[in-house]
Amino acid sequence: MAYVGPLANAVDTTFDDLPEYNALGGHCPRCERVGWVDRYELKRRFSNAFLGPLAVRLRCLGCGNRQNNKWIIGKLPR
| pLDDT score at 62 | 96
Please write the tens of the pLDDT for every residue from 4-57.
Answer: 999 999 999 999 999 999 999 999 999 999 999 999 999 999 988 999 999 999
| pLDDT score at 78 | 80
Task: Return d(Cα 42, Cα 38) in angstroms, integer.
Answer: 6
| pLDDT score at 44 | 95
Domain ranges in the chain are: 2-75
Task: Return d(Cα 62, Cα 44) in angstroms, integer.
Answer: 25
| pLDDT score at 19 | 93
**Strand 2-6 relative to strand 22-27, pairing:** unpaired
